[in-house]
Structure 1
């Protein structure tokens, strides 16, 4: 078949797949109960309390649109992932020249977290404690520190307690790294340049892949993931999944400013202290720093 024919029917098919699957398999939680299930999963699987997801953004390389001076062009796929590698929220289409933090600033998820809409749960006690803590998402250094976004302490002159916090956060955040890795390993189009100039069609391709990923995670044992995803050994050391042998999806650059509010820094410090308390510590953390 000719390239022009393939460019026509592949996006049409992807648009249909996304349309059929999105309401059940690519729907962001919008009730307190649904968000609480996400938080329960992070606590049970990754020992991170009051966590509503792991957040990250990756570049999707596409053919430059007409009139674009650069030979390279990309769109950013922003995603929030649950504890079982399912995409809870995806936003695609922003120009890849914008940093992760800048992309996040323009998406509906930030509005929901900032204003506590979409039935985001109210602050809740940390497990085994009477200390109230707001619900948050975990992210890397590319995102601003906010009450609802926890990121690592900067890597210089860290105390033992801060290194423990960074380990605990990294352990929970790795689910989004793995979700992107599984996605690109299964749908190899992410490891090349999508040869389509129409950004709307590229969005259909990306969203259909995310929906199919969630469908397979939800409706089958998804045996494909065996050996692909990172595993934790008996001593909780990470055994890298085979997706890490693939070309890595490109990370967006850092935002120009990462100024944090006092309340956000206090929340991070409170979690830091909780993770070394009798109620919040896990026995293996001391050997991981």
Structure 2
């Protein structure tokens, strides 16, 4: 984060984290509060370590981090991660197709387990199959590796299919809360599909969510579809990789309550967007970042047996389009 970005962020949150000094105690300034919080998010240092570095009490550090992250989400989210609407989705889809050659798609979805230190009272509620407690973060990334929307808070014990189906993200997509076009012509073709997002084989096949074909007995057209989808998904893998690299807290256990951990992760996501929007990044150079970051993935593929017929038809339409003269690209012949 540059000094200019820090100053802008301070201006956005200053009013919400300002505290009045008293006759008995000098209030910690908004600048100090923000520095403490950014240091925590960027390094993942323990509250005990930060208390020593900044000469504050451990509980003071904890309170500062929680309050500042709430202020960051409140003030930064409307600017750098606004709730998607029709205009935004159409612009994202246009840019996504230009960059990743996947039409009528406004983003790619993926998820990761965020380590937490769950309380003893929660039992095994947050205990996942990799033997650690976690919250599940799902994000939809756009063509520039920025998050269009995120869904945080599902407990790590849930199955992969259950996490998505029970998420607010799935509900919003199901009722078309983003007001995306439900029938849009593919470029240069008379065929139409709804606007979709793309995910890997751990996600279900749905009218608004495309996943790869199962890998057994694939013909050439299905291999091409899988390749085009896999390539389009690189943006969300890159988004998580960049975010992990910048905010090392995500590679460690968050030592707060589940409620505060959720707010902290939300703040990290909007800061990720803010930094990319203001400072940019070489996306091609960043494509290997996720390979060097500790991204915990305990997810397993889901079956396609109960996929809706309409969703299958949408995928088939895209498959046909990708092998047509108007929808094909030269490099797909070399898979």
Q: Give the structure-1-normalised TM-score.
A: 0.89
Partner of 1:216: 275
Measured in 2, the distance between the counterparts of 1:36 and 1:61 equals: 35
Q: How does 1:10-49 map to 2 (within 5 A)?
A: 10-30=65-85, 32-49=86-103
Q: How many residues align?
A: 274
- 8 Å Cα contact 1:39-1:53 kept in structure 2: yes
RMSD: 1.9
User: Cα distance, 1:254 vs. partner?
Assistant: 4.4
The counterpart of 1:159, out of the listed 219, 222, 226, is: 219
Deviation larger for 70-79 or 91-100: 70-79
- 8 Å Cα contact 2:237-2:290 kept in structure 1: no
Deviation per CA, 1:246-289: give whole Å up to 9, x if none.
2223243445776211121121111111101001000000102x
Partner of 1:245: 292
Partner of 1:168: 228
Distance 1:258 1:76, change over 3 A: farther
Partner of 1:234: none
When Rg is computed on C-alpha atoms for both structures, the one with the higher figure is 2
- 8 Å Cα contact 1:78-1:103 kept in structure 2: no
User: Cα distance, 1:132 vs. partner?
Assistant: 1.1
Distance 1:207 1:82, change over 3 A: same
Partner of 2:178: 118
1:5 aligns to 2:52 (yes or no): no
Deviation larger for 107-116 or 9-18: 107-116
Deviation larger for 3-12 or 137-146: 3-12
Q: How does 1:1-289 map to 2 (within 5 A)?
A: 1=51, 2-30=57-85, 32-70=86-124, 72-196=132-256, 198-222=257-281, 227=285, 229-230=286-287, 241-254=288-301, 259-288=306-335
Deviation per CA, 1:63-83: give whole Å up to 9, x if none.
022323457310000111111
Gaps of 5+ in 2: 1-50, 52-56, 125-130
More contact order relative to length (CA 8 Å, sep ≥ 6): 1
Q: Give the structure-2-normalised TM-score.
A: 0.77
Deviation per CA, 1:123-144: give whole Å up to 9, x if none.
1111111111111110011111
SS at match of 2:255: coil
- 8 Å Cα contact 1:57-1:251 kept in structure 2: no
- 8 Å Cα contact 1:56-1:100 kept in structure 2: no
Measured in 2, the distance between the counterparts of 1:7 and 1:257 equals: 44
Structure with greater proportional helix content: 2
SS at match of 1:127: coil
Partner of 1:237: none
